[in-house]
Amino acid sequence: MVSGRQGVVPERRLIFALDVPEPEQAREWVGRLEQQVGFFKVGLELFTAGWWPVVEEIAGRGHGVMLDLKFHDIPETVYRAVRRLRDHGVSLATVHGQESAMLQAAAEAAKGDLQVLAVTVLTSIGEEDLRAAGWAGSAEELVLQRAGKALAAGCAGVVASPREVAALRRQWGEDFLIVTPGIRPAGAAGSDDQQRTATAGAAIAAGADFLVVGRPIRDAADPPAAAAALQQEIAAAL
């Protein structure tokens, strides 16, 4: 269990996103990267392909597991779903951050080493998308609003893009976790489908606790070396 920024193990700040369709591919990636990475994210695609065995196998190798299923339903359903995550080796679990009652139910259901993170605004969403959805403010304003709601509900932290990390720390302090996808290596070109991105060093310097990275490692010519370089960038920013 991690409690606040001071409890984060430096070597586990980098989370590799196992965005692959089959459990065997996930096992290969864990074996290939576990000397450089100590935390892995299992999302919807992989979980529905491998279910609990893939999660428990990663945890059984001594690694942290972020189960990124982004629950969003009525409070009682989310409460029961989060309860099902306990005792499977999951460290971090995600819930969409729109509704206070749902967030409170998720936080109440988490026990032991399981901690709930509220997803604020997906990194694939830009300002134009928010206008189309009826939000008149900025992405940062919406992230801050949802973060405040999540922390008041008892969540351990939030998932937000690196662009909002500094503002989150200014407004809500240090005693919660910030997990940031949308990380790109220094000097990398393009952001794929993620619109609000930053480098690993910039995100850590701004106050992020964990960085979720997939394609920049997976698509590199030498993935272990790419992961090691990110770890060095993280260490330099601490």
Instruction: Indicate if the pLDDT at residue 35 is higher than 90.
Output: yes
What's the mean pLDDT in 34-44?
95
Each domain of the chain, given as residue ranges in start order, spans 5-237
CB 158 within 8 A of CB 120: yes
Reading the block at residue 115, the tokens are: 């901690």
At 3 the pLDDT is 45
At 124 the pLDDT is 67
Quote the CA–CA distance of 42 and 53 in Å, as a whole number: 12
At 121 the pLDDT is 81
Quote the CA–CA distance of 231 and 76 in Å, as a whole number: 39
What's the mean pLDDT in 204-232?
94
Instruction: Indicate if the pLDDT at residue 9 is higher than 90.
Output: no
Binding positions are 19, 41, 68-77, 123, 184, 194, 214-215
For the annotated catalytic residues, the residue numbers are: 68, 70, 73
Mean pLDDT of all residues belonging to the chain: 88
Residues 6 or more apart whose Cβ sits within 8 Å of residue 48: none
- What pLDDT digit, counting tens, does each position of 119-172 carry? 998 766 666 655 666 555 677 888 999 999 999 999 999 999 998 999 999 999
Domain 5-237, CATH class in plain words: alpha beta
Q: Which percentage of the chain shows pLDDT scores above 70? A: 84
Binding positions for substrate are 19, 41, 68-77, 123, 184, 194, 214-215
Residues 6 or more apart whose Cβ sits within 8 Å of residue 155: 95, 103, 106, 107, 116, 117, 118, 176
